[in-house]
């Protein structure tokens, strides 16, 4: 995971300062776990005003930081982008990199991309990209289940991943397992691949069973 994100940021040609955050005490980051908590852990500062239980807040109260403490090319983890640019961005004095991850609430809109015209924003890495593009915007994977306990148990799941890599036969080219009730464009994708012999159409199941089923496929539609 750490090397994956490092590769994404290398092109910026800046001297990035990595510092263990105080919000999430976990073992070293695993490449097997591409998810919100892995991205958040490599960021020097965290702005997370979300407090509802269902969206997995960083802590019980809002998580913020002193904008005056940001140094050039620091990496900031940001949720609720509009609020961040209202309350924090004006008081940050140096260029910085922004990372956004989490749930559907962090979906990017074309209005959000206008923030990138500000010279203080070096780049923005985020999930749920919109149909518009910007030279400073870079989509990143949503990854596996976002619940914190999954990330905390990464060492245990790494053993499972090792077993699956060694012992699982790739039976299918594609794996398809996503909800489409609120996304009409997903229905089109589902209809395209449903029933094809090379595509495994999965259903809702426990996390370990989901990983096992996914390991039988070479690629995942997500």
Note the pTM of the prediction, 2 decimals.
0.77
> What residues pair up with 126 in beta bridges, in sequence order?
100, 139
Residues 60 and 74: their CA atoms lie apart, in Å, by 25
Residues 131 and 110: their CA atoms lie apart, in Å, by 8
Question: Which residues have CB under 8 Å from 89's CB, separation 6+?
Answer: 67, 115, 118, 120
User: Nearest-5° angle of CA 139, CA 145, CA 150?
Assistant: 125
Element (H, E) at 41: helix 36-41
What's phi and psi for 94, nearest 5 deg? -130, 160
For the chain, domain boundaries: 2-139, 168-221
Structure tokens at 63: 């998580």
Strand ordering across the sheet containing 45-47: 45-47, 75-78, 96-100, 121-126, 137-139
The pLDDT tens digits along the chain (222 residues) read 444 444 444 334 333 333 334 334 444 555 566 888 889 989 999 999 998 877 888 888 899 999 999 999 999 999 999 999 999 999 999 999 999 998 889 999 999 999 999 999 999 999 999 999 999 999 998 887 778 777 777 778 888 888 998 999 999 999 999 888 777 888 999 999 999 999 999 999 998 899 999 999 999 987
Nearest CA to 25 among 158, 152, 128, 188? Answer: 152
């Amino acid at each position: 995971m750490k090397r994956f994100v490092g590769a994404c940021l290398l092109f910026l040609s800046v001297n990035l300062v990595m510092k263990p955050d105080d919000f999430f005490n976990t073992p070293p980051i695993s490449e097997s776990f591409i998810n919100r908590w892995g991205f958040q852990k490599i960021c020097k500062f965290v702005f997370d005003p979300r407090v509802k239980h269902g969206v997995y807040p960083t802590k019980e109260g809002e998580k913020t930081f002193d904008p005056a403490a940001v140094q050039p090319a620091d990496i900031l983890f940001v949720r609720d982008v509009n609020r961040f640019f209202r309350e924090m961005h004006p008081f940050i004095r140096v260029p910085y990199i922004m990372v956004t991850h989490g749930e559907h609430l962090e979906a990017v809109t074309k209005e959000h991309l206008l923030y990138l015209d500000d010279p203080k924003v070096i780049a923005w890495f985020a999930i749920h990209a919109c149909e518009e593009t910007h030279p400073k915007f870079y989509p990143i994977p949503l990854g596996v289940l976002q619940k914190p306990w999954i990330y905390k148990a990464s060492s245990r799941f790494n053993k499972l991943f090792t077993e699956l890599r060694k012992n699982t036969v790739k039976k299918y080219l594609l794996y398809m397992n996503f909800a489409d009730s609120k996304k009409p464009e997903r229905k089109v994708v589902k209809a395209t691949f449903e029933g094809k012999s090379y595509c495994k159409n999965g259903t809702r199941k426990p996390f370990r069973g989901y990983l096992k089923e996914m390991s039988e496929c070479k690629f995942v539609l997500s």
